């Protein structure tokens, strides 16, 4: 079992993570990304780093094969919103809920595939992870399921950054977010909103 400096669930293409790759270049890094065209870019953008592991499954509560939805590559270009490549989800409606007058995504713009989902504990077992310095999670609403499933008595995680704006529905906050905050506080994390979308939980 090993310590990992960085684990990112929802790594996208890795472009926005380069400063973290450099910061943790002497430690193990695990990146999780299930969107096929993002995986190709992620491998390209991390090729020079020998300490990076890439997992192409998705992470959820259970180990199972189920449907995963994402915006097609050509639709991302046509719709003119680069962030659309990062809104893959197990819930197709979550993607459609992003529709507004400047982002006219439709059902025909969405690709559906069957992929392997791993539980957080199985992901840790697969890569023999015993502890993590920084866990970063951006998975379009599935953050709750992942954080809720983590047994903090079995794994030490120093810092967690997670997107919270979709916990109780697209762009909604409610009881799920409250319950995760209570869980993290119970395990001695200090919570801080670092912007309008993300929370930093740091072990005291």
Q: Which CATH class is domain 2-63+118-203?
A: alpha beta
* Cα separation, 138 vs 60, whole angstroms: 12
What is the model's pLDDT at position 139?
A: 94
Q: Show me where the domains of the chain are located.
A: 2-63+118-203, 65-115
pTM equals: 0.93
What is the model's pLDDT at position 101?
A: 65
* Cα separation, 89 vs 51, whole angstroms: 28
What is the model's pLDDT at position 173?
A: 77
Grouped pLDDT means (10 residues each) for the chain, 204 residues = 96 96 97 97 96 96 94 93 91 90 88 96 97 96 94 97 87 88 98 95 96
What is the model's pLDDT at position 171?
A: 72
What is the model's pLDDT at position 160?
A: 98
What is the model's pLDDT at position 99?
A: 87
Q: Is 158 left (phi over 0), alpha (psi -120 to 50) or beta?
A: alpha
């Amino acid at each position: 079992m090993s310590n990992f400096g960085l684990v990112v669930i929802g790594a996208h293409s890795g472009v926005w993570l380069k400063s973290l790759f450099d910061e943790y270049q002497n430690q193990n890094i695990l990146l999780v990304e299930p969107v096929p065209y993002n995986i190709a870019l992620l491998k390209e953008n991390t090729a020079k780093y020998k300490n990076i592991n890439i997992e192409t499954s998705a992470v959820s509560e259970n180990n199972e094969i189920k449907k995963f939805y994402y915006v097609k590559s050509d639709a991302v270009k046509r719709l003119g919103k680069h962030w659309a490549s990062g809104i893959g989800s197990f819930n197709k409606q979550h993607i459609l809920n992003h529709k507004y007058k400047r982002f006219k995504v439709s059902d025909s713009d969405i690709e559906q595939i069957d992929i392997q989902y791993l539980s957080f504990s199985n992901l840790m077992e697969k890569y023999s992870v015993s502890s993590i310095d920084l866990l970063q999670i951006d998975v379009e609403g599935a953050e709750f399921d992942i954080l809720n499933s983590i047994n903090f008595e079995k794994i030490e995680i120093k810092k967690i950054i997670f997107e919270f704006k979709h916990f109780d529905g697209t762009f909604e906050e409610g009881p799920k977010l409250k319950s995760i905050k209570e869980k993290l506080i119970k395990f001695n994390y200090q919570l801080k909103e670092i912007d309008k979308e993300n929370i930093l939980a740091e072990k005291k």
